[in-house]
Structure formats: structure tokens, C-alpha cells
Amino acid sequence: MILAEAIKEKDYIKKSINSLEEYLYSIMVVQDKTEFKMNKSLIDGRLDELRDLYKKYQQFSVTIERAKAKASIKVNDTKLSLLDAIAVKNAMESKLETFENLISYAYDKNSHGILYIDIDDLFKEIEDIKIDIKTLDSEIEYAYWNIEVS
């Protein structure tokens, strides 16, 4: 199985867990005591199913994280572990959001006074960040589809 497939399977399991949780909420409380015995056996069976799903989810999570820790990618002349690359990408996305918020705020306040920030420089920096994120994301995605997990 390749890493991308394992990630998709983990996501599917998580959706199943969420659906089962919602179902359990819906049958957890009864209005009539005659329903209690039937719902109790339903709940017990579903709780076992939930435990099994969490066991699978945990196994996939560990397998995926191990594969990410072992794998590496090369961006420009820099070699990064896949985990490091993901961390860098997340930090860059946070930086992008902050810079976009600064521009938005500057536009909102522009009519109220003099701006002490160069919007053109911010736009250029935002574009550079977007290109770096896109490059990193492409390398990460490529790794996801080319790394075998066991």
C-alpha cells in the first residue's frame, strides 16, 4: 500500500468513527423503558465496533507517521524529512494567512489615515510565499504517491 492510500483509508475510518458516534448519540437516550433492553444491546454492539474502528485508526496513524518520518524529499537543494516538510508547509500557510490579514486590515483602514506599510511589498511577499507553498505541496504530494508503507 502506498502512503496516499493509507492516508485515504485513515480518513475513511475517521469518517466512519464520526458517523458511528452520531448514531450512538441518537440511540443513547430512550423515552420508554421497553426500548431500554433493545437499545442497550444495540449500543453494546456499536461500542465494540467503535473500539475496533479506533484500533484500526490507531494502526493506520502509526504506520503513516512512521512512513513520514522515514521518507525524505528534496526541494531545490535542500533535503527534508517528510515530517519536516509538512511542518514547514504548515508554518508557511500560517505566515501567508497573517500577511493576507495585514493587507485586508490595511485596505479597511486606508481611508482613515496614512498607511505605514508598503502594500506592494506585502503583495510580492504573499506571491513568493504562495509559490513556496505550492512547490512544497507538490513535493509532499509526490512523496505520498511514491512511498510504500508496511
Please check whether residues 44 and 106 belong to one and the same domain. no
Please check whether residues 149 and 81 belong to one and the same domain. yes
Residue after which a domain boundary falls, among 53, 70, 87: 70
Please check whether residues 78 and 58 belong to one and the same domain. no
| Matching residue, cell 508554518 | 91
| Matching residue, cell 533535503 | 79
Mean pLDDT by 10 residues, the chain (150 residues): 96 97 86 75 91 98 93 88 94 96 80 71 94 95 91
DSSP per position, 20-75 = HHHHHHHHHS-SSTHHHHHHHHHHHHHHHHHHHHHHHHHHHHHHHHHHHHH-EEEE
pLDDT of residue 48: 95
Number of domains in the chain: 2
- Quick one: cell of 15? 469518517
| Matching residue, cell 444495540 | 42
Asked if 60 and 6 count as a contact pair (C-beta separation under 8 A), the reply is yes
Please check whether residues 35 and 97 belong to one and the same domain. no
Q: What residue numbers bound the domain in which 17 lies?
A: 1-70
Q: Considering only CA atoms, which of 43, 48, 10, 7 is closest in space to residue 25?
A: 43
pLDDT of residue 110: 66
| Matching residue, cell 511589498 | 121
Is the torsion defined by CA of 17, 18, 21, 26 positive or negative?
Answer: negative
Secondary structure element (H or E) that encloses residue 143, with its range: helix 119-144
In angstroms, the CA 52 to CA 46 distance is 10
